[in-house]
Amino acid sequence: MADSWVGLAGRIGSDLHLDLEAGGRGSRRAVLGRALREAIRDGRLAPGTLLPPYRSLAADLGLARNTVAETYAELVAEGWLVARQGSGTRVAPRAKPAGSPRTPKAAPARSDPPAHDLRQGLPDPSSFPRAAWLASARRALNAAPGEAFGPGDPRGRAELRRALAEYLARVRGVRTDPGTIVVCSGSAHALRLLFSGKVLRGPLAVESYGLPFHRSILQAARVRTVPLALDEHGARTTDLAESKGVRAALLTPAHQFPTGGPLAPERRAAAVDWARAGGGVLLEDDYDGEFRYDREPVGAVQGLDPQRVVYLGSVSKSLSPALRLGWMVLPEHLVEPVLRAKGEREAWAGVTDQLTLADFIESGRYDRHIRRTRQRYRDRRDRLVDMLARRAPHIAPTGIAAGLHAVLRLPPGTERSVTKAAARQRIALDGLAHFRHPAADAPAEDGLVVGYAAPADHAYGAALDALCRILPPPSGTV
Amino acid sequence: MADSWVGLAGRIGSDLHLDLEAGGRGSRRAVLGRALREAIRDGRLAPGTLLPPYRSLAADLGLARNTVAETYAELVAEGWLVARQGSGTRVAPRAKPAGSPRTPKAAPARSDPPAHDLRQGLPDPSSFPRAAWLASARRALNAAPGEAFGPGDPRGRAELRRALAEYLARVRGVRTDPGTIVVCSGSAHALRLLFSGKVLRGPLAVESYGLPFHRSILQAARVRTVPLALDEHGARTTDLAESKGVRAALLTPAHQFPTGGPLAPERRAAAVDWARAGGGVLLEDDYDGEFRYDREPVGAVQGLDPQRVVYLGSVSKSLSPALRLGWMVLPEHLVEPVLRAKGEREAWAGVTDQLTLADFIESGRYDRHIRRTRQRYRDRRDRLVDMLARRAPHIAPTGIAAGLHAVLRLPPGTERSVTKAAARQRIALDGLAHFRHPAADAPAEDGLVVGYAAPADHAYGAALDALCRILPPPSGTV
């Protein structure tokens, strides 16, 4: 018996020595506890092993007896060791996990980054205005009242809702006051709250081309979606009156996503008329309303009737999708139901970013940032259009008056082979088929959705070049 | 006809003058557009009203003709106006919303702040380390690679997951690597992902006293909860083996919430044994693991078997619940299911706070902040205990070795009248009944859950004083 624990003390001693050398923060007791846990984890101290009396170990290691005694007690409290009166302290039978000592497994492999990133919807990450954002953060955090760091208003910080109410009225023609704005993490979060939280019910009319992740959120909420046909005037909202049972419609009026046109005035009016006549609700996804190049922005439909429209916006295109910061402007009667659906502990944007964005907007930094990036994306769009005119004049870019992407119309039947070629060349982009509602009536059209904002400046030329090389030749030349 | 639009032009002109004076940013065209929209909204320009020809309005206002023509075209595009060849431009029939001109309704009334805030679970908001946080934000944002502002890894930033893996191992005995950590907004978000996302299935064993909002999240996910009895050794995990069908158990091993004791070593072992034997999963809510006052912290159960325990933590107690920043440490086989449940656009913490917290931890600022607040909360606890010993020695405070709250055991049958008295005095706190599982077997015990962290330093004495005044007198003295 004496022999066995003397040997063990030696082993523990040397292990501990190693760990004491390796350092790490904390008292000697903390270091000793860590070393013992490690030895048990690794299997160096097997379940059932008798530990040396704390006096012996203390002597071997040159530690105070109390230090070792307290460490033992602590590991007993944590379930690593068991102590029985008169029979000493042993490694607990279940302390070693089933299976062999675990070597940390590599993180699940993520796919390699693309050679050229022409995905839609992504702003150039290098355009994030770090210095200006930090300046606003400093000002906002220093000025914030203490209660800002308490549990807070589930609608989001009042500072931000005030700034947004003023900004959205000025820039997007949205009619609101801070009481009807609810801060969230973006349009996906908003749709989940509205439909999984049963604030709104389906069936929901959606544009026959739209974001697949919107459809999957709605599917998860068991909301049936009914596709609305699109034509050169945008979504055929005039069909809403004939869609039996539809209670809400999700639209992208400023810039149809992804095909790119604004909703025609009479279609805007028809949508509002439908909502008024039948108690319906319009969801206006104003995902890139600030980025219009060839004329002033088209104002929000929300301004036509704030009591019939839920307006959704975010900073995902204007600043960064990584901020996870967005907002809903709600009809008054929906504010309380949304807050109930959100719940007091629901995920929402952190207070530091909310306060920072409020200052960023009110200081005029947001306007300046938008102007700068708008100019930059306009230049990129022009380069794309020029490149096509020179190298692929048979391919018509459409939806180019606004946004961070264009649609390249392809000859019928060619989209699949082109997107396959893109995948082979590691060009990240999607074909129109990716966005098409599975129940859409009209025949599928061939096209590529080309985002021109994501690549860094130095990489954009090469990305355009790679794109041109996978485009199909003019028909008749093959 | 000429008369009507001349008068109108005058009216529009004066309105515009006001608005041009009021200023606002943007070109003259933007200002004109805004003024027209406002006039239509307010009803000053009624639906159907004929507008003056743009030449006349331009002359009246001293603007270029093009400016007015473009503004008209824009408002037509937005649906405010309708233009018909040969019949001029009119205010669109539906541009004025149903109902009278809307005066912004006051925000829904929120209840007044309490006179004394003794709610559990809230750190003192004034303890938020603004300067240190900003210093970390500056360092982290300046050092971050460009891709940090792109869509990012759904597990959360690698910088933060690395810092957490090291920190949790060192301080809480958690065994993990960055690949098995998923950043989220806190334990509520984690439970929703795990159960509404069908990563785990019920029935779920929960402690018979626990957080009501946890139970409501589980209810929303249609997960049946089965209460586990509590005694002086914590939750009776030894009963798990007899709970037929239970597949997971939610525990607060370091500091039972809210009653306050640590889970006894043999109960920790029993929980892990149960999970191993039947393929069960333990959910370890380590909600205030850093705040232990009278001895070293009890390590996490997760360290006993990382493949059977989902470990949940957050900064809600240590820094601020307003940051909405937490983490799950997952068994390897649950990482991909959680990411699927999360979805690519699910709400999660913003990148700036993630990067900032990573630096905050790695720079040692987090440790310093914890040490400082721990000392502060220990002092507050001591003041509470002293006050009770002097003024209400018949009331036993329990669960005081750790955390941000204590439980004051009350004479049987008195809790309801005491919490009513608290409400009358506007003292915010909860009785034990608030936390009791509706299906709990054991008879309800009377007690108050008193959070001692939330009040500002200067307000704490008055809060304790107010508390003492509502406590029931010793039995036999009434």
Q: What is the mean pLDDT of each run of 10 residues along chain B (478 residues)?
A: 40 47 62 81 77 82 85 81 82 53 42 87 92 97 94 91 94 93 93 93 96 91 95 95 94 94 94 96 93 80 97 96 95 95 76 97 94 94 96 92 93 95 95 95 92 92 96 74
Question: In sequence order, what DSSP letters do the residues of B175-199 get, joined into one string?
Answer: ---GGGEEEES-HHHHHIIIIITTS
Nearby residues of B377 by Cβ (< 8 Å), 6 or more positions away:
B291, B293, B404, B452, B453
Pick from B320, B330, B329, B328: nearest CA to B353? B320
**B238 in the same domain as B141:** yes
**A170 in the same domain as A294:** yes
Tell me if residue A301 falls in helix, strand or coil.
helix
Residue A63: per-residue pLDDT: 84
**A238 in the same domain as A325:** yes
Domain end marker among B365, B397, B417: B365
Domain total in chain A = 3
For residue B410, the distance in angstroms to the closest alpha carbon of chain A comes to 28
**A343 in the same domain as A385:** no
Residue B153: per-residue pLDDT: 86
**B205 in the same domain as B86:** no
In chain B, residues with a C-beta closer than 8 Å to the C-beta of A33 are 296
Nearby residues of B176 by Cβ (< 8 Å), 6 or more positions away:
B164, B165, B168, B169, B302, B306, B311, B329
Residue B97: per-residue pLDDT: 40
Domain end marker among A365, A400, A423: A365
The mean predicted confidence, pLDDT, of chain A is 87
Q: Is the ipTM of this complex over 0.85?
A: no
Q: What is the pLDDT of residues A383-442, one digit of tens each?
A: 999 999 999 999 989 999 889 999 999 999 999 999 999 999 999 999 999 999 999 988
Average pLDDT over residues A293-307: 87
Nearby residues of B372 by Cβ (< 8 Å), 6 or more positions away:
B127
Residue A102 lies in a domain: no
In chain A, residues with a C-beta closer than 8 Å to the C-beta of B79 are 265, 268-269, 272, 301, 304
Residue A454 is classified by DSSP as S
Helices (H), A52-157: 54-61, 65-77, 130-143
In chain A, residues with a C-beta closer than 8 Å to the C-beta of B349 are 324, 350
Decide if B147 touches A, using CB distance below 8 A: yes
Residue B423 lies in a domain: yes
With a cut of 90, say whether residue A6 has pLDDT above it.
no
Domain end marker among A365, A386, A414: A365
Average pLDDT over residues A15-29: 54
Q: A16 falls in which pLDDT band (50, 70, 90)?
A: very low
**B276 in the same domain as B207:** yes
Residue B85: per-residue pLDDT: 74
End-to-end CA gap in chain B: 88
Q: Measured between CB atoms, which of A152, A347, A364 is closest to B189?
A: A347
Tell me if residue B473 falls in helix, strand or coil.
coil
Q: What is the pLDDT of residues A38-91, one digit of tens each?
A: 778 777 777 888 888 888 888 877 788 888 888 888 888 777 888 877 778 888
Return the CATH number at A334.
3.40.640.10
Average pLDDT over residues A269-297: 90
Q: What is the pLDDT of residues A231-261, one digit of tens each?
A: 999 999 999 999 889 999 999 999 999 999 9
In chain A, residues with a C-beta closer than 8 Å to the C-beta of B324 are 347-351
Cβ of B273 and A94 within 8 Å? yes
Q: How far apart are CA B268 and CA A450, in angstroms?
A: 55
Residue B97 lies in a domain: no
Is B210 within 8 Å of B219 (Cβ atoms)?
A: no
Chain A 218-257, residues with CB within 8 Å of chain B CB atoms = none
With a cut of 90, say whether residue A468 has pLDDT above it.
yes
Tokens of A356: 């920072």
C-alpha to C-alpha distances, A30 to A51, A354, B145, nearest whole angstrom: 18, 39, 35
For residue B175, the distance in angstroms to the closest alpha carbon of chain A comes to 9
C-alpha dihedral (A45, A51, A52, A54), degrees to nearest 10: 110
Of A187 and B45, the structure prediction assigns the larger pLDDT to: A187
Chain B 20-49, residues with CB within 8 Å of chain A CB atoms = 24-26, 29-30, 33-34, 37, 41
**A372 in the same domain as A361:** no
Return the CATH number at A53.
1.10.10.10
Is A243 within 8 Å of A226 (Cβ atoms)?
A: yes
> Percent helix, strand, coil in chain A (nearest 5)?
45, 15, 40
Q: How far is CA B310 from the centre of its chain?
A: 21
For residue B380, the distance in angstroms to the closest alpha carbon of chain A comes to 18
For residue B322, the distance in angstroms to the closest alpha carbon of chain A comes to 5
Cβ of B273 and A122 within 8 Å? no
In chain B, residues with a C-beta closer than 8 Å to the C-beta of A34 are 170, 173
Report the predicted TM-score, pTM, of the whole model to 2 decimal places: 0.82
With a cut of 60, say whether residue A194 has pLDDT above it.
yes
Is B181 within 8 Å of B376 (Cβ atoms)?
A: no
Residue B200: per-residue pLDDT: 97
Residue A373 lies in a domain: yes
Residue A105 lies in a domain: no
Is A44 within 8 Å of A15 (Cβ atoms)?
A: yes
Residue A183 lies in a domain: yes
Cβ of B216 and A184 within 8 Å? no
**B422 in the same domain as B376:** yes
**B351 in the same domain as B405:** no
Q: What is the pLDDT of residues A198-240, one digit of tens each?
A: 999 999 999 999 999 899 899 989 999 999 999 999 999 999 9
Residue B108 lies in a domain: no
Residue A57 lies in a domain: yes
**B157 in the same domain as B176:** yes
Q: What is the pLDDT of residues A339-365, one digit of tens each?
A: 998 876 665 789 999 999 999 999 999
In chain A, residues with a C-beta closer than 8 Å to the C-beta of B153 are 110
CB atoms within 10 A of CB B166: 16
With a cut of 80, say whether residue A7 has pLDDT above it.
no
Structural domain of B410: 368-470
Residue A11: per-residue pLDDT: 52
Q: What is the pLDDT of residues A86-120, one digit of tens each?
A: 778 888 876 444 333 344 444 444 567 889 999 99
Average pLDDT over residues A119-139: 94
**A453 in the same domain as A421:** yes
Cβ of A95 and B304 within 8 Å? yes
**B352 in the same domain as B379:** no
Return the CATH number at B437.
3.90.1150.10
Residue A26: per-residue pLDDT: 64
